[in-house]
Structure 1
Amino acid sequence: MTEEGAESAEGARGADEYAACVLCQEPTEYPKTVRGATLCPVCEWQEAQRTACSG
């Protein structure tokens, strides 16, 4: 395997270890073993904005 091929295989394996966002399916910062609804950083921020107290 070439060095370039090894890098792409490593990247693909690393991406599979993270859970997908339940809203947009982008990779999250959490491993697949985390329980509950996982959100990517963007959706997490948007959800926090929606639920924040406006007053």
Structure 2
Amino acid sequence: MTDDLPDSAPSDRRLLVSVLLVAHRQKDLIADALESVLAQDYSSLEIIASDNCSPADPST
């Protein structure tokens, strides 16, 4: 089982962590959120981002 493997274990043996970023009219915060996730020491990550149907023009 891979549950007890440290972060230093080979990446193909570690658990994949999924990070879901969902925003609505928050385009300025998405970059900060992505940077925060990518700054983590754990590297076996899957990042899923969704703008949740924000309008093309953020002033509407």
TM-score by length of 1: 0.28
Q: More strand by proportion, 1 or 2?
A: 2
TM-score (structure 2 length as normaliser): 0.26
> Which structure's residues are more often helix, by fraction?
1
